[in-house]
Structure formats: structure tokens, C-alpha cells
Amino acid sequence: MKANVLFFDNKPASKHAQTKEIWFYDFRTNIHFTLKKNPLKLSDLADFIECYHPSNILQRKETYHANTNPEGRWRRFTFDEIVERDKTSLDITWLKDDSLPDLDNLPDPDVLANDIFENLRAGIERFEEIMVTINGGVRAAGRVHSPWTPTLGKTRKKWPSRCSQTAWRC
């Protein structure tokens, strides 16, 4: 489970926002811990503790910079930047997640559509082979024509009352 941890200073109530900036440490992107194989250790938090600078929060410095350090995990946002976000969301990411596809280098849509079509066709052909085996259907012109195979929106035979039209087996 991925989550953000927020730290707040306890200040008296005010009509005006007292928060001027919010600091984020991205400890979610490309970091994976498990209970058995890779448990979280105190040493894993060393960089965060150093960036957080608990002894003097005025000495905090961002490690993120769009041009010089785009992989920096420690970043500051102003109150106004947060409020301008959709629904004032604090679910903020700026690091590239290596587990996701690189959306900037995807093939053209027609190539993707063709790949999807070919994968679907191969899946249907495999399923038709299974149908021949299970139902004793007869392969004709590359398609299974069991008595219950839908053909262009029509069925070759009426569905038995005990069967669902979406089920292959009764």
C-alpha cells in the first residue's frame, strides 16, 4: 500500500491560512518494500530525515530541480500551488515511475490498434479450438460452429431455456 505521511504544526485557529508552504518527500515512486523479502529499515529513512531537517526546519532545501535534479525526492510547494490543484489534492507525484510504460515513446495509435486486434484474434482462435474440443463443434472456414455459437448477432439455434445466452455450457 502506498501512502503519504503528513506532519502539521499545532498552531492556534486563524481566519487566514497559516501554512505558507508544504514539503513533500516522494517515498512511493520506484521504492518497494515487503514484510519478508525487503522490510523497511531505519536506514531507508536516512535521506528523508536529513531532508526534513527536524532540528531546524528553516534550513530545509529542495533536492528536486526540474533541470538539474529531476529525480530529487524532496520538494516544496506553496500553499497557493496546492489550492490551485484539482480538488486541492495532496496526492502529488513528480518522479517518473519506472514500472509504468513510457507514454512519450508509445507506437502510433494504428500500430497499437493492430496489435490489440491481432491479440484478440489469436485469443478467439484459441478459444474456438477449446470449443471444438469441449462441444464437439465442427470447424468451418476457420470458425467453430457449435449449435450455440452466435453468428453476426443471431444464433444458429435457439438457446435452451436453462442456459444463459452468455454461457457456453449449460
- Helix and strand tally (H, E) in the chain? 3, 6
**102 vs 73: which has the higher pLDDT:** 73
Contacts of 98 (CB under 8 A, 6+ apart): 30
Find out whether 137 and 146 touch, Cβ atoms under 8 Å: yes
Asked whether residue 155 carries a pLDDT value surpassing 80, the answer given is: no
pLDDT for residue 1: 56
Find out whether 170 and 160 touch, Cβ atoms under 8 Å: yes
pLDDT in tens, 76-123: 999 888 888 877 778 888 888 887 777 777 778 888 888 888 889 888
pLDDT in tens, 3-51: 667 777 778 888 887 888 889 999 888 888 888 899 999 999 999 999 9
Find out whether 33 and 40 touch, Cβ atoms under 8 Å: yes
**Average pLDDT across the chain, whole number:** 79
Domain ranges of the chain: 21-97, 107-155
Strand partners, 105: none
Asked whether residue 53 carries a pLDDT value surpassing 80, the answer given is: yes
**DSSP string for residues in 138-163:** -EETTEE--TT-EETTEESSPPPTTS
Strand partners, 76: 23
